[in-house]
A = this chain, B = another copy of it.
Amino acid sequence: MTLAFRTTSATPIEAPALLRTMPDDGFSALQAIGTVARFARNATIFSDGDDADYSYRLISGTVRLCKLMSDGRRQIAEFVAAGDFFGLEWLDTHAFTAEALTDVVAIRYSRSRLDRLGQERGDVQKGLLTLLSRDLWAAQNHLVMLGRQTAKERVVSFLLALAERAGNSGMLDIPMSRQDIADYLGLTIETVCRTISDLKRQRLIDVPNRTQIALRNLEKLRDIAEGDL
């Protein structure tokens, strides 16, 4: 009983929200080996270079995965939402730092038990391959954004991706700070602020407060993200 995935996304830039969960068959097998872990806002869940002893699935809250340069420059690779797995790793050490953006509840899986389960159950291991494939797919879109998009395109793409995750509701919750957004987009906080203010001035979005943004003109915003100014 293998559950089929539907990938009918026409646009290569956005992730279908459904794709972020584990295939159902593999997932149920995982329940047996996970334990609950809680982290306070701003806690470090694991650090870049740590032994990759545990992987996680996020139940509630938001997590950021980031890398730091020696002089303090920071790049956020991904924001993890409820339902997502993170820290899945088949090398010896974690490739990035995971930090709780809010208070967080997650399920923790030990690497060794995950390995053993994988050896016993091909469907579980295949599910893990699918999860990694998705992460890689996301990272590659992120590369295009950082390498080839303008500041405005990046900010709009980011908002549209959040909307996609949230199920395209008009009002978006923004759990991360402006600095976090800047570090995800490879910009400065000032550029992020100014770009958001521009979009507000053009009536493309509303910003009632720091943690909420409403998209008022999806069509125009999609054009901007694609580069049609």
A contact set with B: CB distance below 8 Å: 5, 7, 12, 19, 48-49, 67, 69-71, 73-75, 77, 88-93, 95-96, 115, 118-120, 122-123, 125-126, 128-130, 132-137, 139-144, 146-149, 183, 185-186, 226-227
**A129 engages B130 (CB within 8 Å):** no
Q: A89-B133, A129-B90, A136-B95 are in contact. Are A148 and B12 (CB under 8 A)?
A: no
Q: Which residues of B contact A95 (CB under 8 A)?
A: 12, 133, 136-137, 140
Q: Which residues of B contact A96 (CB under 8 A)?
A: 140
**B146 engages A147 (CB within 8 Å):** yes
Please state the number of chain copies in the assembly.
2
Q: A119-B126, A126-B90, A130-B91 are in contact. Are A12 and B48 (CB under 8 A)?
A: yes
Q: A7-B93, A139-B140 are in contact. Are A146 and B186 (CB under 8 A)?
A: yes
A70 to B147, CA, bound (A): 15
**B129 engages A186 (CB within 8 Å):** no
**A143 engages B133 (CB within 8 Å):** no
Q: Which residues of B contact A75 (CB under 8 A)?
A: 143-144, 147-148
**B134 engages A143 (CB within 8 Å):** no
**B142 engages A143 (CB within 8 Å):** yes
Q: A12-B49, A126-B125, A186-B148 are in contact. Are A140 and B91 (CB under 8 A)?
A: no
Q: A140-B139, A148-B69 are in contact. Are A92 and B7 (CB under 8 A)?
A: yes
**A91 engages B125 (CB within 8 Å):** no
A141 to B185, CA, bound (A): 15
Q: Which residue of B lies closest to A93 (CB)?
A: B7
A172 shortest CB reach to chain B, Å? 22
**B118 engages A126 (CB within 8 Å):** yes
A69 to B204, CA, bound (A): 23
List, sorted by A's number, 15 A–B pairs whose CB atoms are closer than 8 Å.
Answer: A5-B92, A69-B144, A71-B227, A77-B140, A90-B130, A91-B130, A91-B134, A91-B137, A95-B140, A96-B140, A115-B126, A125-B125, A129-B129, A136-B136, A146-B147
